[in-house]
Structure 1
Amino acid sequence: MKFNLQKFKNSNTKPFFIAEMSSNHKQSLQRALKIIDQVAKNGADAIKIQTFIPNEITLNIKNKYFKINDKNSLWNGKYLIDLYEEAKTPLDWHEKIFNRAKKNGIICFSSVFDDLSFEFLEKLNVPAYKIASFENNHFPLIEKVAQTNKPVIISTGLAEYDDLDELVKIFKKNNNNNFCLLKCTSNYPAKLSDANLSTITFLKEKYKCAIGLSDHTLENIAAITSIGLGVRIFEKHVKLNNKVKTLDSKFSLNINDFKKYTDSIKSAYVAIGKKSQLISKNEKNSLMFKRSIFISKDVNKNDKINKNNIKIIRPNNGLHPKFYKQVIGKKFQSKQKKGTPLNFKMIKL
């Protein structure tokens, strides 16, 4: 299954939902497969996993440099190697995961974190790639991914504009325009006050590509607001239920909440409508309550039209009020009764 990311530059395109599994399988293949089954039934267009080999993204060393020392972090006190060993999706699960997604009619793709994992995913013929926020300055890996000419989604968390300039340049150099930038706040969970959604408009104007949202907030407000800014791709962490605690469960939605999340965004998309459609179909039934020009007094042929024999009133069956001044002083073609909607056939022009 292929998908073209460039079409999401068009605000008329329907929202596209990516369910991020991350570590929420908690080392159970059966749980991973159940997550796929459930998100496919509850609004997801794609499921994303993470492909990495722990020793390829860090060193198996336990000193102060490799220990998370942030009291605000969900992973405070953990060594990087232990964190990634716990979070990894085993390579021998991948084919089963991809097949399960295909069976459910949704796209499965992966975040790639290292060269060996990239080679592995290429052998599996992954349909698309994700570059995570923590990897968006890994330009040698990004270049390899860009050269595949496959769709690539890139999170912008923790990136300076110089980094994004370089990243986009790599894709342009390799003639791969099928990429999307996801506005991302790399806090887990992220606060609404840190969402900074105003950058979405700037990113769209600067890079001329589709812009999505990697949403780590606990509400749907950021996503609904983003719909109004033209975002049509949404990525959200998903877990099977609230019972199993994982590394990412505190900022992941359970299946029911994911359904509410996707439904609310779809409703926001419907509410936005189209630029060309000022009056909706259902609204047209209310047009009768608009004003128009009516004859307000019995008149005879050749009577002059004046403010005493015509009036701008409801309903909307007569001439548009914009013609009021134009018809004043003209003569009636024939006798007319009070309460008749005025039209041009009645007037000597």
Structure 2
Amino acid sequence: MTKHIKIDGRDIGDGYAPYIIAEMSANHNGNLNVAMRIIEEAKRAGADAVKIQTYRPDTITLKSDLPDFQITDGLWAGRTLYDLYEWAHTPWEWHAPLFEYARKLGITIFSSPFDHTAVDLLEALNAPAYKIASFEAIDLPLIKYVASTGKPMIISTGMADAEEIEEAIDAAHEGGCKQLAILHCVSGYPAPAQDYNLNTIPDMIRRFGLVTGLSDHTLDNTTAIASVVLGASIIEKHFTLDRNGGGPDDSFSLEPAELVALCRDSKTAWSAMGKVDYGRKSSEMGNVKFRRSLYFAQDINVGETITAANLKSVRPGFGLPPKFLPQLIGQRVTERVNAGTPATWEVVTKLPSTEK
């Protein structure tokens, strides 16, 4: 079982805070300056990485108006696949300045390649990791080619069944990938929370034995935060400067304040998971005063017998627990006891052998 992987020096997996990926996708809307600002805002929000996508329309589809290539419903209805990817792609000449700028700011940047030439471009830029998009999870030759780089790989599993996920994992390992993670994903844009079936995440962890995370296409952070409680080590969310920007993916992306909240709240959820611990917590220590315990309500002289009238269960909690009231009644005190004194075993004539 792979307990953790490492991307650009950052450990990811069991025992580490969730790794947050801000997916730029097409949210630059064809403007390099906007792309730079997205990187800035991702860094400012506290994301661990910003991710882009590396393709051209001719490397991902055919220029065709035939019915198979027409998009008839959803966000992009009325376009052909070629038109969509012409609109949405990140120009390859932007890649070097984007990588340079992200590194200058101190945020990790990597990409999803969609063919071998994209991998070659990213290798020339020394990409620290690769992401396989959900729709490419069945492109086993591409996975093997990415694996041959020796870099860490994250595979998103939207639309893939268990057998297809297994095949993708096998292809990655056969290609030489030593650091592999998978993401539970629903390939709807946006996707309703009820489609996510987050209980799949712990099953994936058990079934595949890999670092596992979530690629989240819901409209808020609730699903992503919940996934952390179920073992997600990576969270990927689309990120934009303005959800109303009119770009291909803007409408289902987080805005800067929401990414700040995701980075903060996912780490809070992870921290709250902690370990199995029934002991008293540090934040509770001062509140012993508000717990009940046994206190003497009257003065008692040496040798006198403790009665129900002079011993009471009250706050604070510095005396013996109330469960010992029956054992104390009838005992004689060995020293003078003043009212307001906590009851202890040391002031009675006989210590119970099994109840202390």
Q: What's the TM-score, normalizing by structure 2? A: 0.88
Deviations 1:66-121 (A, max 9, x none): 2223x2x1112221122112211111211111111111111001011111111221
Instruction: State which of 25, 30, 34 in structure 1 corresponds to 2:33.
Output: 30
Write out aligned runs for 1:80-159 (5 A).
Answer: 80-159=81-160
CA contact (8 A) 1:133 1:158 kept: yes
Q: For residue 301 of structure 2, what is the aligned residue in structure 1?
A: 300
Distance 2:336 2:166 in 1: 75
Distance 1:306 1:177 in 2: 72
CA distance change for structure 1 residues 168 and 25 in 2, over 3 Å: closer, same or farther? same
Q: For residue 192 of structure 1, what is the aligned residue in structure 2?
A: 193
Deviations 1:96-147 (A, max 9, x none): 1111111111100101111111122122211011011001111111122233
Distance 2:243 2:222 in 1: 21
Asked if 1:2 is matched to 2:5, the reply is no
Distance 1:67 1:40 in 2: 37
SS of the residue aligned with 2:123?
helix
Distance 1:31 1:174 in 2: 36
Instruction: State which of 35, 45, 50 in structure 2 corresponds to 1:47.
Output: 50
Identity of aligned residues (%): 40
Instruction: State which of 61, 66, 76 in structure 1 corresponds to 2:64.
Output: 61
Distance 1:312 1:168 in 2: 62
Q: For residue 230 of structure 1, what is the aligned residue in structure 2?
A: 231
SS of the residue aligned with 1:99?
helix
CA distance change for structure 1 residues 305 and 100 in 2, over 3 Å: closer, same or farther? same
> Which is further off, 315-324 or 79-88?
315-324
| CA displacement at 1:289 relative to structure 2 | 0.6
Stretches of structure 2 that go unaligned for 5 or more consecutive residues are: 1-6, 352-356
| CA displacement at 1:59 relative to structure 2 | 2.1
SS of the residue aligned with 2:41?
helix
Q: Which amino acid aligns with 2:8?
A: K
Size of the aligned set, in residue pairs, is 344
Distance 2:208 2:327 in 1: 51
Distance 1:252 1:142 in 2: 27
Distance 1:184 1:212 in 2: 9
SS of the residue aligned with 2:241?
coil
Deviations 1:31-78 (A, max 9, x none): 111111122112221100001233222222321112223x2x111222
CA contact (8 A) 2:243 2:252 kept: no
SS of the residue aligned with 1:48?
strand
CA distance change for structure 1 residues 231 and 335 in 2, over 3 Å: closer, same or farther? same
CA contact (8 A) 2:143 2:175 kept: no
Distance 1:214 1:258 in 2: 14
Q: Which amino acid aligns with 1:36?
A: I
CA distance change for structure 1 residues 255 and 316 in 2, over 3 Å: closer, same or farther? same
CA RMSD of aligned residues (A): 2.4
| CA displacement at 1:249 relative to structure 2 | 1.2
Deviations 1:253-280 (A, max 9, x none): 2223332343343444455455437544
Q: What's the TM-score, normalizing by structure 1? A: 0.89
SS of the residue aligned with 1:168?
helix
Distance 1:177 1:293 in 2: 61
Q: Which amino acid aligns with 1:160?
A: D
Deviations 1:14-35 (A, max 9, x none): 2322111111112221211111
CA distance change for structure 1 residues 253 and 231 in 2, over 3 Å: closer, same or farther? same
Asked if 1:240 is matched to 2:241, the reply is yes
Distance 1:337 1:320 in 2: 19
CA distance change for structure 1 residues 281 and 303 in 2, over 3 Å: closer, same or farther? same
Deviations 1:283-331 (A, max 9, x none): 3222211011212333233334454443322111112335445545544
CA distance change for structure 1 residues 276 and 174 in 2, over 3 Å: closer, same or farther? farther
> Which is further off, 336-345 or 293-302?
293-302
CA contact (8 A) 1:9 1:209 kept: no
Q: For residue 264 of structure 2, what is the aligned residue in structure 1?
A: 263
CA contact (8 A) 2:51 2:109 kept: yes
Distance 2:79 2:28 in 1: 19
CA contact (8 A) 1:53 1:114 kept: no
CA distance change for structure 1 residues 95 and 325 in 2, over 3 Å: closer, same or farther? farther
Write out aligned runs for 1:273-288 (5 A).
Answer: 274-276=275-277, 279-288=280-289
Q: Which amino acid aligns with 1:236?
A: K
Q: Which amino acid aligns with 2:63?
A: N
CA distance change for structure 1 residues 118 and 287 in 2, over 3 Å: closer, same or farther? same
